[in-house]
Amino acid sequence: MRAELVLMGKRVDMASRDRRRILVVLIYATMAATVTAMWFVDRWHTSGSYLFWLMLLICRLFLGGYYRGGLVKPFNNKPPRQTLRPHPFLALGLRIYNPIPPEDDRAFLNDERELQQRDHAHYQAYQVIGLALVIPWFASYLRMLKPSWLAWGAMSADQVYFGLTFAILLLFFTLPQAILLWSEPDMEQDFPDT
Range of the structural domain that residue 8 is part of:
4-78+105-183
Q: Does residue 88 belong to any structural domain of this protein? A: no
Q: Does residue 156 belong to any structural domain of this protein? A: yes
Best CA proximity match to 23, nearest among 37, 10, 13: 13
At residue 147, the pLDDT reads 61
Q: Does residue 94 belong to any structural domain of this protein? A: no
Q: Does residue 159 belong to any structural domain of this protein? A: yes
Give the C-alpha distances (Å, rounded to integers) separating 115 from 3, 24, 77, 119, 120: 18, 21, 10, 6, 9
Q: Does residue 83 belong to any structural domain of this protein? A: no
Three-class secondary structure of residue 96 per DSSP: coil
Q: Does residue 40 belong to any structural domain of this protein? A: yes
pLDDT tens digit sequence for 3-34: 888 777 788 888 899 999 999 999 999 999 99
Q: Does residue 177 belong to any structural domain of this protein? A: yes
Q: Residue 184 corresponds to which amino acid?
A: E
Low-confidence ranges of the chain (pLDDT < 50): 99, 193-194
Q: Does residue 145 belong to any structural domain of this protein? A: yes
Say how many domains are in the chain. Answer: 1
